[in-house]
Amino acid sequence: MNPFLELGIREEVVKAISEIGFEKPSEIQEKAIPVLLTGSDDFVGLAQTGTGKTAAFGLPLLEQLDFSQRHPQALILCPTRELCLQISKDLEKFAKYMDNVNVVAVYGGANISDQLRQIRRGVQIVVATPGRMLDIIGRNAIDFSSVNYVVLDEADEMLNMGFQEDINNILSETPDTKKTWLFSATMPKEVRRIAQKYMTDPVELTVGTKNTGNANIEHQYFLIKAKDKYAAFKRIVDSNPDIFGIVFCRTKIETQEIAEALIKDGYNADALHGDLSQQQRDKVMKRYRDRSLQMLIATDVAARGIDVNDVTHVINFSLPDEIENYTHRSGRTARAGKTGISISLINIKEQSKIRQLEKVIGKAFERKQVPQGEEVVARQLLTIIDKVNQVEVNDDQMNAFLPAIMEGFESLSKEEIVKRFASLEFNRFLDYYKNAPDLNIEARDISNTRERGERGERGERSERGSRMGSKGYTRLFMNLGAVDEFSRGDMLGFICNNSKISGKSIGKIDMKGVFTFFEVQDEEVNKVFEGFKGVDYNGRQVRIEVSGDGGGSGERSHSGGDRGSRGRSGGFGGERRDRGGFGGERKDRGGFGGERKDRGGFGGERKDRAGFGGERKSRSGDNGGFRDFSGKRSESKSKY
Ligand code: ADP
Ligand code: MG
């Protein structure tokens, strides 16, 4: 018998949740559902994100309410609009085979009259963020006098966001006889106080181990102008000569461009993204694991769940679109008890995202200064000294050459020799960092956010121009490269044969590991696009794009996010918020079947929110460049 049926969930609902892949209850569901089905107790459930709390309260609600009535009987309060939408969608999915179930999502930043209309039509379940809910209450547009159940989802988060008072006000509209179910990841004092104030003898349940979070990850950010991003990134890398890092970009094209630029600048880097065949990915990964690559430039999807030991840095070259991905990204470092650093390169406009991230990970970020040129140079110098001190000299082999070496340096003093050896390694940095400007954003820049940001982006584009095609040529990108066992000659032939153009029309061919840039005379470009339509290479669709036209924005129309991400889980943009994917997606999250393995990292990092609450307080006095955090209605802003 289906274990949900055994718990007392009705058949229509069991059918619906089976269809979305719930085979058996998660731990919180197994424990909470029987309690909540009695309908006679207040309830406190402490469980991490991703443990299935929505169904833990959602399924019992569907059993308890009278859906022949059309007035609000349950109110679910949650902190953000995303969550609000997610919960209401989840409930609708659970109720797919039930009749007359009406759920309304009430959240800021959306048209209020639509929401009011839905309420007027009659709903049993209201899912709301506090700000908008109060607004609607203030308009006398809702009657909460028959509410039997109030759910406070992510209560700690709501308090963090300053919703305490709003919650008080909303709850005072509901009858004293209602039952209150509170869900939270942690139980800080404030949450406990709410529990005491609004609940009578609640049944309290804690699921999962209390975890200190991945305290081993240090989260840092650098505030820079958009146009300086790559330069700042290089400085950070150069001042960490022993870096073994994963660099995250938002799109495939950005991943390719950064990898290309790094390779050109002499770094040990390569790209990993969804346009590669499994075989190619394996190759790149093998090189990274073997440490023949120092930096892996990757998209979220491609690097999801990657488990490589001793990654020193995760660098968010671009912040992820989906906030949750930050945790996945930073979890690539500090594995197995090691420490690690997660760095984000952000521009002024993105500062509020750091705030949001702090809330998600439950830890404060530290703003770091981009090292000045001299600092980088000094750092490199120390590394060289270190290396010289530590290098193993193979006397046997050296001895044979020693006389010749000594002779060659006869005329030089020790000092002179030292200088020259250091210069050998070093001139590249001295040249590059000569007159290097300060890349940090000054306070005065911050005052003019919008203008700065825009100017910055324009600057970036023109810099990109230098990487565009020669005059009369268009520079194209192709998703095949050296690892596909092409020589340059093969590539030339491959392009000409498919496009039916002569080799004379092709300019420079710039072959990289997993992709190629090539120039084609402007008038022949269309033939290339035509010629490669539907062409496969070893079962992989060949993709041609114009290179460099706005790569950084991530808004390009080319095949979108990483291959597979859309089909698999409804894309990582808005839709993905309901975590609709139950296929591959679930694996990473684990927790419901045997797949617990990867879970530690993910759940783990969210855990010490109590600490976060505390930290935040101590910061709020001096929240320097930060947006004031107490903004109560901030739910509407979190489109991120
Ligand atoms: P939380 O509210 O604890 O953060 P969610 O309710 O959002 O967690 O659930 C996390 C993910 O797990 C969602 O994708 C959800 O659909 C899925 N899920 C929940 N319960 C189960 C279950 N019993 N079996 C399989 N997947 C589940
Ligand atoms: Mg939840």
Residue 469 DSSP class: P
605 CA from centroid of ligand 1 (Å): 18
Instruction: Give the count of domains, the chain.
Output: 4
Are residues 58 and 148 both part of a single domain?
yes
Could you count the other beta carbons within 10 Å of the beta carbon of residue 130?
Answer: 28
In this prediction, residue 468 carries a pLDDT of 54
Arithmetic mean of pLDDT over the chain: 78
Residue predicted with more confidence, 329 or 593: 329
- Cα–Cα distances in Å, from 197 out to 416, 609, 613? 77, 21, 20
Q: Read off the amino acid at residue 264.
A: K
Segment of 379-393, 402-416, 505-519, 597-611 carrying the highest mean pLDDT: 402-416
From the CA of 579, which ligand is nearest? 1
Is 261 found in the same domain as 193? no
- pLDDT at position 579 is 29
CB-based pocket (< 6 A), ligand 1: 21-22, 25-26, 29, 47, 49-55, 579, 592
Q: What is the pLDDT at residue 422?
A: 81
CA dihedral of 277, 280, 285, 291, whole degrees rounded to 10: -170
The answer to the question of residue 617 being in a domain is: yes
Residues 6+ apart with CB under 8 A from 189: none
Q: How does strand 516-521 pair with strand 506-511? A: antiparallel
Q: Is the per-residue pLDDT at 50 higher than 50?
A: yes
Q: How many residues does the chain have?
A: 640
What are the pLDDT digits (tens) for 156-190? 878 877 788 899 999 999 999 999 999 987 777 77
Look at residue 623 in the predicted model and tell me its pLDDT: 32
pLDDT band at 578 (very low <50, low <70, confident <90, very high): very low
Could you tell me which residue, 46 or 331, shows the higher pLDDT? Answer: 46
Domain assignment present for residue 445? The answer is no
CATH number of domain containing 153: 3.40.50.300
Query: Which atom of ligand 1 has the smallest separation from the CA of 24?
Result: 23
Residues 66 and 110 reside in one and the same domain: yes
Atom of ligand 1 nearest to the CA of 578: 14
Ion ligand 2 nearby residues (CB, 5 A) = 53
Residue 208 is predicted with a pLDDT of 62
**Protein residue closest via CA to atom 17 of ligand 1:** 52
Query: Is the predicted pLDDT of residue 305 greater than 50, yes or no?
Result: yes
Domain range holding 364? Answer: 217-370
Q: Which atom of ligand 1 is nearest to the CA of 26?
A: 23
Tell me, yes or no, whether 385 and 361 share the same domain: no
Residues 397 and 486 in one domain: no
Q: Among the three residues 370, 388, 405, which one is the final residue of a domain in this structure? A: 370
- Spatial neighbors of 612 by CB under 8 A, at least 6 apart, are 160, 358, 359, 362, 363, 364
Neighbours of 249 (CB within 10 A): 26
More confident residue, 197 or 453: 197
| Mean pLDDT along residues 11-35 | 95
- Label residue 283 left, alpha or beta by phi (over 0 means left) and psi (-120 to 50 means alpha): alpha
What residues are paired with 182 via a beta bridge?
Answer: 44, 152
Ligand 1, atom 19: closest residue by C-alpha: 52
In this structure, the answer to whether residues 264 and 186 fall within a common structural domain is no
Residue 301 · residue 567 · CB < 8 Å:
no
Of 432, 457, 481, the position where a domain reaches its end is 432
621: pLDDT strictly greater than 70: no
Asked if the structure places residue 257 within a domain, the reply is yes
Residues 6+ apart with CB under 8 A from 456: 225, 226, 227, 228, 347
Q: What is the CATH number of the domain that holds 536?
A: 3.30.70.330
407 lies in some domain:
yes
Among protein residues, the one with the nearest Cα to ligand 1's atom 9 is 52
261-265: long-range contacts at Cβ-Cβ below 8 A with a sequence spacing of 24 or more? Answer: 261/230, 261/467, 262/295, 262/297, 263/512, 263/513, 265/234
Ligand located closest to 50 CA: 1
pLDDT at residue number 54: 93
446 close to 255: Cβ distance less than 8 angstroms: no
Confidence of residue 421 (pLDDT cuts 50, 70, 90): confident
Question: Looking at 162, 187, 206, which one is the last position of a domain?
Answer: 206
In the reported structure, the alpha carbon of residue 48 is separated from the centroid of ligand 1 by a whole-number distance in angstroms of: 11
Of all protein residues, whose CA lies closest to atom 24 belonging to ligand 1? Answer: 22
Are residues 418 and 393 located together in one domain of the fold?
yes
Is the pLDDT at 215 greater than 50? The verdict is: yes
Give 271 Cα–ligand 1 centroid separation in angstroms: 32
Strands 179-184, 43-46: pairing kind:
parallel
Inform me whether the pLDDT recorded for 596 exceeds 60: no
Give the DSSP letter string of 415-463: HHHHHHHHHHHHHHHHHHHTTPPP-SPPHHHHTTHHHHHHHHHHHHHHH
Determine the distance separating the centroid of ligand 2 and the alpha carbon of 220, expressed in angstroms.
27
Strand ranges across the sheet with 125-128: 103-106, 125-128, 74-77, 149-152, 179-184, 43-46, 203-206
Q: Which pLDDT does position 361 carry in this prediction?
A: 80
Q: Give distance in angstroms: CA of 86 to centre of ligand 2.
A: 9
Per residue in 530-548, pLDDT (tens digit) is 999 888 887 778 888 887 6
Exposed/middle/buried for 209, CB within 10 Å: 0-12, 13-18, 19+?
A: exposed
pLDDT for res 567? 30
Q: Do the domain assignments include residue 447? A: no
Q: Are residues 32 and 171 in the same domain?
A: yes
Q: Please check whether residues 226 and 324 belong to one and the same domain.
A: yes
Cα 98 to ligand 2 centroid, rounded to whole Å: 22
- pLDDT recorded at residue 469: 65
In the chain, the percentage of residues whose pLDDT exceeds 70 is 78
Residue pLDDT, tens place only, 62-109? 999 999 999 999 999 998 777 898 899 999 999 999 999 999 999 987
Q: Are residues 329 and 393 in the same domain?
A: no
Which residues, 6+ apart, have CB-to-CB distance to 312 below 8 Å? 240, 242, 243, 244, 245, 333, 340, 341
Look at residue 314 and tell me if it is in a domain. yes
One domain, residues 416 and 321: no
217-270 pLDDT tens trace:
899 999 999 899 999 999 999 999 899 999 999 999 999 999 999 998 889 999
Residue of 19, 24, 26 to mutate, ligand 1, most atoms within 8 A of C-beta: 26
The lowest-confidence range among 18-22, 183-187, 464-468, 492-496 is: 464-468
| pTM to 2 decimal places | 0.45
- Which ligand has the minimum distance to the alpha carbon of residue 583? 1
Which atom of ligand 1 is closest in space to residue 48's alpha carbon? Answer: 3
Chain centre distance of CA 437:
30
pLDDT at 49: 63
Query: Are both 511 and 623 inside the same structural domain?
Result: yes
pLDDT by residue (tens digit) across 442-482?
Answer: 633 443 433 333 333 333 333 333 345 678 889 888 888 87
Q: Is residue 525 part of a domain?
A: yes
Cα(333) to centroid of ligand 1, in Å?
Answer: 26
Q: Residue 454 domain-assigned?
A: no
Instruction: Using the mean position of ligand 1's atoms as its centre, give its distance from the Cα of residue 239 in Å.
Output: 42
Nearest CA, atom 18, ligand 1: 52
Both tokens of 225, joined, read 């102008």
